[in-house]
Amino acid sequence: MKCILVILFIFSSCSFKKTNQTLKGHEELYSEPDAPSLTKLSKQERRIVIASTNDVHGVLNPTRIEFFDKFTNSKQDILVGGKKTMGEYFKSLRNFYGEVLLVDSGDIFSNSNETQSVLDFYNQNNYSALTVGLRDFNIQVSSKMGSNTKLFQEVAKNSNVPFLLSNLYELKTARQIEWPGTKGHLIKEVNGIKVGIIGLISDDIVAQTPVQNRVGLYVENMLQASLKQARLLRSLGADIIVVLTHQSLDCSTKLSQEMKLPPTKVNFDPLKNNVCDLSSPLGEYLERLPPSLVDIVIAGRNEFKMANIINGTIVMAGMSDGKGFSFSELVFDIETKKINFKKSVIHQPITFCHEFFKETNDCFTEDESIPHDKRIPAKFLGQKIDSSLDLVSAHSGLKKSIETIRKISEHKASIAYLSSTTGETQLILMQIPGDELARILEEDFNKNQKKNWIPNPFTLKEQELYLKIDSEEIDLRKTYLVLADLESIQKHPYFHRKVSDENSVVLMNHSWKSKEQDEIQSFAAAPER
């Protein structure tokens, strides 16, 4: 009994962020805009920051989340993710903490045609290790490639980031796989501390994948592989052991029922016991792990976040589809060779926000008790996030690159949309964010409405669509003034919705005869508000 009390006392000081779990209203639920106060370390202590993504699924373009805002009685949307924004968050993490160990626990692809862009993302952001997940085993490959086994071999060979496949064996040789670019384990030194990393294929892969997708492969039991690899890593001097495995664990449902909150609004006290459903394969694995064998498990394969401690092992997971990530700052005592849980911080998962709702300092959309119309720039750890350089997928296979090049005067319309051909109508000036304008132009190009834009912003070169206003590419961060006539607005779904938002529309006492194209073009170039 005394032993149990001592363990609970040690863990009871393990820090965690955010206690604003309420049904109505919240602040910084999925964000950390301000730089935290770092715990002072003694001479024998080292701070180790471990960050992770999971279930990225090859989603490297921003995701637009649409929702209805009761306060403005209108539809709203906001962007999250995208490879440039993700990179900005990782850069801020490293700027603040210095060395960071960054890893991914699997499901990195969505199809077999995107492998190079995915590898480029992991290479450019200096990941230390990857493993593969259930979807990676189940994606369709070309007949030329033959099987997912061949795909993994090809991908690993071309990756600068090692693929950890610690429990995968070749039946032909009865040996652990030794493909170029793969490893059974890895040791990375962070702030003078050796971190051993293992990548485990889940035990249920065999049951959930076709035979042809794992030709010639054998998956060793996770627990057995953990015993073997972790003990080997300890013998090689590893101070901390991290396991990457694409397995799920539900730690949200029970808490959400107890607190009468949606699962997405639940935050975790890592030390609270009996909140995770341990009946899952990952739960059984964690319960059977010997004490102190594994320090951290990076999980995945579900929509719920994790920031928990289970039987002395930290378990982390963030949002899927490139929407967020997890991180912990561990304090390691080099004399006792143990993690100091009193000083360590297990952070709640962070969303890759492009901007924040002013009311909440984050981009969580599901709280109906606050307005979402006022926006401010996103920040992380006290540093502004520049999301303007993200690549945005175009329709019909076209792609455009949007770069920050110039500042647009807020007192002049940048572009006009005029589809009317007869009569006299009222002119309306709308404020539209650059990312939304780019999406509208892209859609209109593919719907053959490009003739309605003055001056014409479209340039098609080698099957890539470049959107330019006054020869400059659109800046996603800026707000553009778009001039349109009332008749055109009524025909265009987006503009028709936009005029209902009084904060985004300026009605101008100016009428225009549709034949005067040259006159309206000059007006679009320099009207006053």
For the chain, list the domains and their CATH numbers: 30-384 (3.60.21.10), 393-525 (no CATH)
Q: Per-10-residue mean pLDDT for the chain, 529 residues long? A: 40 50 78 92 96 94 87 86 94 97 94 84 97 91 81 92 96 92 96 97 89 89 96 97 95 90 86 88 95 95 86 93 96 95 92 94 90 91 83 27 22 71 62 87 84 85 81 85 76 70 48 42 35
Residue (of 529, 10, 523, 18) closest to 266 by Cα position: 18
Dihedral angle over CA of 257, 261, 266, 269, nearest 10: -60
Distance CA 311, CA 313 (A): 6
Distance CA 110, CA 423 (A): 51
pLDDT at 144: 75
Record the tokens describing residue 192, joined without a space. Answer: 């003078």
Cβ atoms of 137 and 148 closer than 8 Å: yes
Strand partners, 101: 50
Residue (of 418, 231, 243) closest to 315 by Cα position: 243
Using the 8-state DSSP alphabet, how is residue 61 labeled?
Answer: S
Strand partners, 183: 164
pLDDT at 88: 96
The reply to whether the predicted model has a pTM over 0.85 is: no
β 375-377/458-461 pair status: unpaired
The amino acid at residue 492 is: H
The SS3 call for residue 63 is: strand
The SS3 call for residue 372 is: coil
> How many degrees, rounded to 5, is the angle at CA 9 between CA 7 and CA 13?
115
Half-sphere exposure of 398 (CA within 13 A, CB side): 23
Distance CA 268, CA 276 (A): 10
The amino acid at residue 483 is: L
pLDDT at 449: 83
Residue (of 90, 126, 52, 50) closest to 329 by Cα position: 50
Cβ atoms of 59 and 305 closer than 8 Å: no
